[in-house]
Homo-oligomer: A and B are copies of this chain.
Amino acid sequence: MVTDAQQACFEAGIKFGSLYHQFAGTPVSPDSAESLERAIAESIENQPFCESVTVDIDADALADAADDHGYVELTGRFMDVEMRIEYADVTVRTEMAMEDGYPLMRLVGVE
């Protein structure tokens, strides 16, 4: 027996895992950060029950970390993500942000 709230949380997790492992490793620079933010958000919003995705890539952090070629491979340390999932009557709010050097994905609210 699975409740709608549990299913909604499962769906939220799928989106986070998808987002992270699809796009981690992408070459990104301060100049290309904006197009990548938009593409990630629009891509994951295609998935079922995913109402909105906001991706914020930290261009300053990219600039600090960039190699001699001016870019880095995207990891969680360079981006914050917020997501809203709607399943049946349940709305789940989630976010990913750095915590102790680890990109922590967490449930912010289940309503």
Contact = CB atoms under 8 A, between A and B. Distances in A.
A91 to B, nearest CB: 13
Contact of A38 (B14, B18, B39, B73): B39
Interface string A56-81: 00000000000111110101000000
Contacts of A10: 9-10, 12-13, 94, 105, 107
Most buried by B among A25, A35, A45: A25
Contacts of A40: 39
Interface string A2-16: 110111011111111
Interface in A13-42: 13-22, 24-29, 31-32, 35-36, 38-40, 42
Given A17-B15, A75-B73, A46 B22 contact: no
B7 A107 contact: yes
Contact of A73 (B9, B24, B27, B29): B24
Nearest to A75: B73
Contact of A27 (B12, B35, B47, B100): B47
